[in-house]
Amino acid sequence: MNDLLFQKIKEYVKLQEGDIELLNNYFQCKQILKGDFLFKEGDAVNYAIFVKSGLFRTYVVDEQGTEHIMQFAFPGWWTGDLGSFISGETTKFFVEALENSEALTISKKSWDELLDKAPFYLDYHRKLLERGLVATQNRLLEAYSTDATKKYLHLIESFPDILQRVPLYMIASYLGMSRETLSRVRSQLTTEK
Amino acid sequence: MNDLLFQKIKEYVKLQEGDIELLNNYFQCKQILKGDFLFKEGDAVNYAIFVKSGLFRTYVVDEQGTEHIMQFAFPGWWTGDLGSFISGETTKFFVEALENSEALTISKKSWDELLDKAPFYLDYHRKLLERGLVATQNRLLEAYSTDATKKYLHLIESFPDILQRVPLYMIASYLGMSRETLSRVRSQLTTEK
DNA sequence: CGGTCTCTTGACGGAGTTCAAAGCTAGTGG
DNA sequence: CCACTAGCTTTGAACTCCGTCAAGAGACCG
């Protein structure tokens, strides 16, 4: 029932007898319809979110009212707002379901208890953080050193099915460019080949 | 002798009797002269680096030969290349001392041993990763949503003494703009006020 | 002093944004 | 089965910010 989570954890650490039962006690399953929000700006996000099925986007709205998509979260990924989760402060992010989705949630209190009780979970979390930090650093580097066309090509290489699941204007926002620019990038790529 | 490290760790976790002695066994101190490198692109960086004194910069050189500074590391900060450290692959970064500096280093092997033996260190490392990830996400958001002037103002607010220690062209690189743009931003700020 | 490194200033060009309009697509209801 | 609407995408034209190139001015150091 929470198979995907177990499978993901097993990619990082070894599980012992009983670990899976232990985990089951800590997570709650939630259904979210397309277009609905897990949370919005101003909420205190005192829980973590694991995507079981479907798809989510995390974005902020800046002072000019422009949306900036920070993350797409596919099944097997974590999403939410780490900053709000660890500090207790309110979030500036929105997390919206782009498809009918299922998510596992775990409260901050349960989370801390789990880290305390289950060394394997601590280890899993640490490795996840390490990889997450490296990935974010790489994205930052890409933002500074790469032009629009290369960013787009890199994205569809990394997530080949994203074009089938996400409208282009959201992809543009994720890549830090306007919809019009992405449109022109794409038309140039098709005519050139 | 490794006081700064202990002090920093204490900001995150409680230390017990004997913890400090334990730590002392794992770290080596290194002197680096201004202009010298801790490592360069192509090296396998199988150690972590804690800045004891001085100042370092981490940068990459892209295909066009342009430098992009990813981090300035002040005393009390960690630097290096987390990606290379955890994966064992070679790095694409350069880490150069901008002043005569001292750094504590710890090999990957010692690091793993320390995480294994010292729960407080595991906890410290985890909290550091969490904060590092949040900080990098915020920088990414800033890169996408903020213009040159605001980025500069935010930087000098966050690190007031950076102007005394780092040449402007490096600050420009860190902020993802050309030296000329930074120069114009600064002259505009002084004439406007 | 002369040379190297750093910073500034001006002119020009280019990548990407903004604004506006029109085309496309899919879902809805008659 | 078609008409209508709403959301998404494309296209064009003008503009803007920033990068590039080039020249010169300080500043620091042997």
**Chain A CB contacts of B125 below 8 Å:** 126
| Across all strands, nucleotide nearest B147 (CA–C1') | D17
pLDDT tens, A119-178?
A: 999 999 999 999 999 999 999 999 999 999 999 999 999 999 999 999 999 999 999 999
Q: What phi and psi values does residue A38 have, to the nearest 5 degrees?
A: -75, -40
The residue ranges of DSSP E strands in chain A, in sequence order, are: 28-32, 37-39, 47-53, 56-61, 67-73, 78-79, 94-97, 101-107
In a domain, B120, yes or no: no
Does A144 sit within 8 Å of B68, measured CB to CB? yes
In a domain, B7, yes or no: yes
| Domain count along chain B | 1
Provide the mean pLDDT of chain A: 95
Residue B74: what pLDDT? 96
Q: How far apart are CA A44 and CA A117, in angstroms?
A: 25
Q: How many other CB atoms are there within 10 angstroms of residue A14's CB atom?
A: 9
Contact B45, B24 (CB under 8 A): no
Provide the mean pLDDT of chain B: 95
In a domain, A77, yes or no: yes
pLDDT tens, B60-117?
A: 999 888 999 999 999 999 999 999 999 999 999 999 999 999 999 999 999 999 999 9
In a domain, A26, yes or no: yes
Higher model confidence: residue A2 or residue A163? Answer: A163
pLDDT tens, B126-163?
A: 999 999 999 999 999 999 999 999 999 999 999 999 99
Residue of B nearest to A173 (CA): B144
**Chain B CB contacts of A178 below 8 Å:** none
Q: How far apart are CA B68 and CA A62, in angstroms?
A: 26
Q: Which of B140, B147, B173 to mutate: most A Cβ within 10 Å? A: B140
Does A129 sit within 8 Å of B130, measured CB to CB? yes
In a domain, B180, yes or no: no
When CB atoms are compared, the residue of A70, A134, A144 closest to B83 is A134
pTM: 0.94
* Closest CA relative to residue A47, chosen from A68, A20, A32, A26: A26
In a domain, B133, yes or no: no
| Residues contacting residue A92 through CB under 8 Å, at least 6 positions apart | A41, A60
Average pLDDT over residues A56-79: 95
To 5 degrees, how large is the angle CA B169–CA B175–CA B176?
Answer: 90
In a domain, A167, yes or no: no
Which residues from 147-176 of B have any strand C atom under 7 Å from their CB?
167-169
In a domain, A62, yes or no: yes
Average pLDDT over residues B29-55: 96
pLDDT tens, B9-31?
A: 999 999 998 899 999 999 999 99
CATH code of A70's domain? 2.60.120.10
Containing structural domain, residue B100: 3-108
